[in-house]
A and B are shown apart, each in its own frame.
Chain A
Amino acid sequence: MIDRTGREVRTDRLGMPVQAENYTASRPPNWQGQLGGCGIASCISLKGERINGDRIARMLTIMEERENGLGAGYACYGLFPDRRDQYCLQFFFDDEEGKRNAENFLDGRLDIVHDEKVFTRDRSTISPPYPIVWRYFANVPGHREWRGDRDLGEEDYMVEMVQHVNEKIPKAFCVSSGKDMAVFKGNGYSYEIAELYDLGRYSGTMWLSHSRFPTNSPAWWAGAHPLSLLDWGVCHNGEITSYGVNRKLVEMNGYKCTVLTDTEVVTYLWDLLVRRNGLPVEVAAFVMAPSTFQEISQMPAAERRLAEWLRITYKEAFLNGPFSIIVGRSQPEIALIALADRKKLRPMIAGLSPDDGVAYCASEESAIRIVEPDARTWAPGAGNPFIAVAGKGVVRKGIEPSFQGVSL
């Protein structure tokens, strides 16, 4: 089929036309978020070795039924060993003007030590337009007001900066802003995105990935997953039925919702609960997918008290509805967190290579078997986090009692 402009009409697996008005950095007019199903996959080297991008691409692309060509993405951690302590801000620009807008804004606000074009192939089967993808390595200058009366940390300063760019700077969108990590995403099939960025040229300690099956268009490059803020990267399969409630909590805490998806709010919740409020990861996972009060009533006294107060205090952080998420972070150490909702209405399977060197989490077992045929796999429980840390191993398989290892 040929469309009015003479281009081949994109079709999905079943031959249905995929009408994708395509937006890159700028938010599509009347954008109201997206919903639909997804495939997610991730791997982490427990020994801190480097995994090539081809491996994660193979994991993700095998789950063909989970995408329809309207968005896919990858995040790599442990990507810049030589620039480990610098923030890597990776941008989408609609055009050169967007780049100038962003650079004018960043000028004086960040110490940019190096910048480069992110490699993308000139030709692809993805419908144009493509964004300009650019990367800046930066340090946060030490003289800003946040060090004084506002009592902000360096990360808070960075969050404000990134959110300002995404909300206010025309034609520019900062897709990732963490240390030692970067996000590669766009509007296409998972294999197209892998080809476009030539993922094989990158190796890192940990990879997250996401492909999507949205039930609506238009398509927005910046709205694809992983969504990222600081070093947090989140890939999410699900639909949060409590979105309005969760959004209130993050907005009350100063986050600006620019992508308008539940995944964005999940990203901010991790930042709020773990980085800012200091909750241990297991505890934050409980907050998002808590046990029922019936189950809590049967816990030992100390656990029960903690569980009750977490539910009371953080009831707006409870993620209701079906979800499975994969979360990555690079600070203080590279870690992979996987969590499904408390009824486990979306799939999540974990695996470990025979030599215990690499851990995996994915929507489907096929994603693990394609790269590790002899992996040992298991299903983390409903609302039970899986946690793996580079250099330490799998610290939580997702089948333990809620607060195991948490000091009470």
Chain B
Amino acid sequence: MSETPAMKRLDHRLPERFVPTINYDLCRVCRRCVNDCSYQALEFLESRVVPSGGCVACGRCIAVCPANCIEIRPVPPQFAPHGNWSERSRRSILAQASSGGVLLSSCGADDEHPAIFDDLLLDAAQVTNPSIDPLREPVETVTYLGRRPGKLEVRDGKVMIREDDTPLIRMNMPLMFGHISLGSISYNAQKALFMAAKELNIVAGSGEGGLHPDFYQYADRICSEVASGRFGIKPEYLKGVAAVEIKIGQGAKPGHGGHLPGEKVTTMISETRMIPLGTDALSPYPHHDIYSIEDLAQLISVLKESTEYRLPVGVKIAAVHNVGAIASGLVRAGADFLTVDGYKGGTGAAPRVIRDHAGLPVEVAIAAVDRRLTQEGLRNRVTVCAGGGIRSSADMIKALALGADVVMVSTSALVAMGCRVCQQCHRGLCSWGIATQRDDLTNRLDPNVAAARIVRLFNAWNEELKEVLGAMGIDSVESLVGNRDRLRYRGPNPKIAEVMNVKHIGEGWG
């Protein structure tokens, strides 16, 4: 089979999805938009700026235009309407017929299945219990992450505390940043996350990209990830950090490994990950020393042993159909905390078929894990973290009420620093300097400014959490965790409510 290049270009070119449109009455022809567009979707032609194709709606041009004269317009459907053959499906086929490869995408699943979070309504206090104004009275959000003893021994009337057995991390709010590696995001972006985590007094995941020596100063707020590639694992990576987390899976690509293309493996990345310059960084799909639960137990022991039992050691899994039973296995294998990542969770690059079609919504997964661990009498011994598509404080609050102790957020932190969720992370051209390693692009992101924005966002979420707790007549967040009585389901499918053990709207308890 042979194709002439010219034919290929013309016959199989896909219609544009977005077009930057310039109001020439206002344009000052400063060409900042042209210079800033890392996707080269704008060019200067003769005397004016014109679109040149390939716009991804990252919005950078709009932000840098001093005349405020650019508008990105979605291109109306260019395909004959068909109820079954959506534009999306036809575009995928055309693209795949051209490339012959696995279609890649990034960020979380972008299908239009509504989040179950949006089908849940919160309760509030009226008359029979009073609501609480968090500006007048204390409402607490302090959260601990790690293994809990289940009960305290009492000897001769004295309560015995053996704190060395159960290292715990104290955080100011029930929130942690998910694992985003150096490599998938830039030095400046990761620095901003770590600075924000320190300021907020919460924990940030390192991702599987090692830890840059410049970031050792934030180590006491960093959860180091041990994933199947074992990148960057050295004594400094495990000592002095807040916690260690074994990554089994990621919500965006359950059952899948990681892939950082060689062109992104710069000198800095190669040194931090301890891999040769310019080589692909491939994380295997499974850990090649974990083929069963007892192997996992051994790795947990190894990590606890090598960190002298000073750190909580957790395990992160993608939310899959049997998540409850797997979670129980993790606790029995010795995990001090579990992280459950739902299928809408973000990624820097994933096969679209897995991103969009595998896994479980995090809402259902949290309820399943909470219920299973409760049934087995294990729930009060571990911390359950959960994330994957948490877009707002409302999502966070509902995740807590469904049964998560700590809510993991990633994409929303990136959005706070500039990300517009254009889903091009895998191309390494991020015009905001976040998901790229190109120096000219990464320099666009000021870590101080980005960190301040993240801090403001999550402080605001925490205030909103307190407002909701107060309205529910709850003055400390632990009394919300797993309190599914305070949720009601209003969605289209009552079976979902049933499996989540949440009552339907209209069902009271008195």
Contact A313 B152 (CB under 8 A): yes
A245 at the interface (CB under 8 A from B): yes
Contact A245 B483 (CB under 8 A): yes
A164 at the interface (CB under 8 A from B): no
**Whole-angstrom distance between the alpha carbons of A309 and B140 in the complex?**
16
**Whole-angstrom distance between the alpha carbons of A32 and B503 in the complex?**
12
B267 at the interface (CB under 8 A from A): no
Which chain A residues (290-306) contact chain B, with CB distance < 8 Å? 292-294, 305-306
**Whole-angstrom distance between the alpha carbons of A321 and B471 in the complex?**
11
Contact B140 A292 (CB under 8 A): yes
Contact B129 A321 (CB under 8 A): yes
Contact A251 B473 (CB under 8 A): no
With A249-B380, A252-B380, A278-B154 known as contacts, the answer to whether A322 contacts B476 (CB < 8 A) is no
Q: Scoring A residues 327 to 348 as 1 if CB is less than 8 Å from chain B, else 0, what string do you get?
A: 0000000000000001101000
Please give, as numbers and ranges, the residues of chain B lying within 8 Å of A214 by CB-CB distance.
510
Q: How far is the CB of B135 from the nearest CB of chain A, in Å? A: 15
A279, A309, A322: which contacts B129 (Cβ < 8 A)? A322
With A244-B483, A245-B478, A252-B377 known as contacts, the answer to whether A239 contacts B129 (CB < 8 A) is yes
B138, B380, B510: which contacts A32 (Cβ < 8 A)? B510
A5 at the interface (CB under 8 A from B): no
**Whole-angstrom distance between the alpha carbons of A406 and B482 in the complex?**
32
Q: How far is the CB of A299 from the nearest CB of chain B, in Å? A: 14
With A32-B509, A245-B483 known as contacts, the answer to whether A320 contacts B476 (CB < 8 A) is yes
Chain A's closest residue to B484 (CB) is A244
Interface size grouping (class) on chain A: 35 or more
A242, A260, A278: which contacts B474 (Cβ < 8 A)? A242
Please give, as numbers and ranges, the residues of chain A lying within 8 Å of B96 by CB-CB distance.
none
With A239-B128, A277-B154, A279-B154 known as contacts, the answer to whether A316 contacts B380 (CB < 8 A) is yes
A312 at the interface (CB under 8 A from B): yes
How many B residues face the partner with a CB closer than 8 A? Answer: 44
Please give, as numbers and ranges, the residues of chain A lying within 8 Å of B88 by CB-CB distance.
none
A248 at the interface (CB under 8 A from B): yes
**Whole-angstrom distance between the alpha carbons of A216 and B510 in the complex?**
6
Which segment, of B157-165, B216-224, B256-264, faces chain A? B157-165
Which segment, of B21-29, B142-150, B292-300, B437-445, faces chain A? B142-150
Q: Scoring B residues 318 to 339 as 1 if CB is less than 8 Å from chain A, else 0, what string do you get?
A: 0000000000000000000000
Binding site of B, secondary structure by majority: helix, strand, loop or mixed?
loop
Contact B473 A320 (CB under 8 A): yes
B356 at the interface (CB under 8 A from A): no
With A251-B374, A293-B142, A313-B149 known as contacts, the answer to whether A345 contacts B130 (CB < 8 A) is yes
**Whole-angstrom distance between the alpha carbons of A241 and B125 in the complex?**
9
B235 at the interface (CB under 8 A from A): no
Contact A312 B129 (CB under 8 A): no
Please give, as numbers and ranges, the residues of chain A lying within 8 Å of B482 by CB-CB distance.
244-245, 248
Contact B152 A310 (CB under 8 A): yes
Q: Which residues of A contact B (CB under 8 A)?
A: 32-37, 214-216, 238-239, 241-245, 248-249, 251-253, 260, 277-280, 283, 292-294, 305-306, 309-316, 318, 320-322, 342-343, 345, 406-408
12 extra A-B contacts, CB within 8 A, seeds A251-B374, A312-B148 = A34-B510, A36-B510, A241-B473, A245-B480, A248-B482, A292-B140, A314-B151, A316-B379, A318-B478, A320-B476, A343-B475, A407-B158
30 CB < 8 A contacts A-B = A33-B510, A35-B509, A35-B510, A214-B510, A239-B128, A241-B125, A242-B479, A242-B483, A244-B482, A245-B483, A248-B482, A251-B374, A279-B152, A279-B154, A292-B140, A293-B140, A294-B138, A305-B163, A312-B144, A313-B148, A314-B152, A320-B475, A321-B125, A321-B129, A321-B474, A342-B475, A343-B475, A406-B157, A406-B159, A408-B158
Q: Which residues of B contact A (CB under 8 A)?
A: 125, 128-130, 132, 137-138, 140, 142, 144, 148-152, 154, 156-159, 161, 163, 168, 374, 377, 379-380, 472-476, 478-486, 508-510
